[in-house]
Amino acid sequence: MSEPVRQSPCFRFAPSPNGYLHLGHALSALENAKRAQDTGGRLLLRIEDIDPARCTPEFEAAIFEDLHWLGLRWEEPVRRQSEHVDTYRAALGRLEKMGLVYPAFLSRSQIKAHAAQAEQQGRTWPRDPDGALHYPTVERVLDPGEAAARIANGERHALRLDMDKALACVDAPLFWQESGTGEVQEIRADPAAWGDIILWRWDAPSSYHLSVVVDDALQGIAEVVRGRDLYHATSVQRLLQALLGLDPPRYRHHRLVAGGDGRKLSKSEGAAGLRHLRQAGHSPADIRRLVGCVA
């Protein structure tokens, strides 16, 4: 009998071109490259640019430049999410066919007012792990005729996942394999903590969660290596994988690089920005040392 062909595991670094890369991104990119090197795997770069209001070609060009300067190389072609909206639309269509998607008309300020009113009456309004208010579930039950008329009228809306119905469709509880601490652990996903997540936005095609699970599966990613800030997002991504029948990758959420004041870095963080550090005379080896990734 012949040996089964062993495929090289795929890793991806998936930045959004909505700002300049900082030390946190450098750590993520280097960790992915190291895992690919250690396992004889492949390194992919994915540009997550589905948000047209925030992503720019200049930031994308800067990503390539900064990563090249760091000494990283990846396989071509680079996947650019804005070029694959139809693929995400097809995944959304599957969820719609399952009756799990509804149009959500409340704006952010209306959700806030709704929550404030409930809290005045002594109820605690749920927030997702990122601190955003849950969408009011009473809004799920809009009359379909009324919803269709409002959409036909051009009213702004997002498409959301009905979390209760979605959970009823899968073999809960769901788990993911996490090796962030070294040892592989089975982590129990808690998608309900996110409430009715957005699947499609009025001002941008698709959503981060939907496009990321579709792409991770399509690109055959073996292990998602990314910052600890996305640890909780895995719960909802695991649910979408189960609903869409996609094989889940393993996950390795790495520590975050803190700013000078100990807070999480943001894209506007000048001092920790790779370009800033480069212009200040730091070398790629300095960056590796600064983030503690010396491979």
Residue from 226, 238, 252, 253 touching ligand GLU (CB under 6 A): that is 226
For residue 264 the two structure tokens come to 């999480």
Residue 180 interacts with ligand GLU (CB under 6 A)? Answer: no
Please, what is the minimum distance in Å from the beta carbon of residue 57 to ligand GLU?
Answer: 16
Q: How far is the CB of 284 from ligand GLU (least distance, A)?
A: 21
Contacts of 82 (CB under 8 A, 6+ apart): 47, 49, 50, 52, 55, 205
- What residue has token string 């590796």? 288
**Residue whose CB is less far from ligand GLU, 68 or 264:** 264
Q: What letter does residue 73 receive in the DSSP assignment?
A: -
Q: How far apart are CA 59 and CA 18, in angstroms?
A: 6
67 binds ligand GLU (CB under 6 A): no
Does residue 212 belong to the site contacting ligand GLU (CB under 6 A)?
yes
Write down the least CB distance from residue 234 to ligand GLU, Å: 9
Task: Identify the residue among 16, 206, 211, 235 touching ligand GLU (CB under 6 A).
Answer: 16
66 interacts with ligand GLU by CB under 6 A: no
Burial 165-179, CB ≥16 within 10 A → b, else e: ebbeebeeebebebe
Angstrom distance (rounded) from CA 45 to CA 21: 14
Rounded-to-integer distance, Cα 161 and Cα 170, Å: 14
Site for ligand GLU in 89-128 (CB under 6 A): none
Considering CB under 6 A, how many residues would be counted as binding ligand GLU? 7
Q: Which stretch binds ligand GLU (CB under 6 A): 14-22, 104-112, 174-182, 282-290?
A: 14-22
Q: Tell me: cis bond preceding 126? Omega within 30 of 0 counts.
A: no
Sheet containing strand 42-47, edge to edge, reads 10-13, 42-47, 79-80
Encoded amino acid at 205, one letter: P
Smaller CB separation from ligand GLU, 49 or 196: 49
Write down the least CB distance from residue 226 to ligand GLU, Å.
4
Residue 15 in contact with ligand GLU, rule: CB under 6 A: yes
Which C-beta is closer to ligand GLU: that of 16 or that of 241? 16
User: Does 14 contact ligand GLU by CB under 6 A?
Assistant: yes
Residue 254 half-sphere exposure toward CB, CA atoms < 13 A: 21
48 contributes a contact to ligand GLU by CB under 6 A: yes
Q: How far, in Å, CA of 12 to CA of 155, rounded? A: 37
Minimum distance between the CB of residue 46 and ligand GLU, rounded to whole angstroms? 8
CB of 37 to ligand GLU, least distance (A): 19
Q: Is 82 or 111 the residue whose CB approaches ligand GLU more closely?
A: 82
Asked if residue 230 binds ligand GLU (CB under 6 A), the reply is yes
Question: Do residues 47 and 29 make contact, with C-beta atoms less than 8 angstroms apart?
Answer: no
Residues of this chain that interact with ligand GLU (CB under 6 A) are 14-16, 48, 212, 226, 230
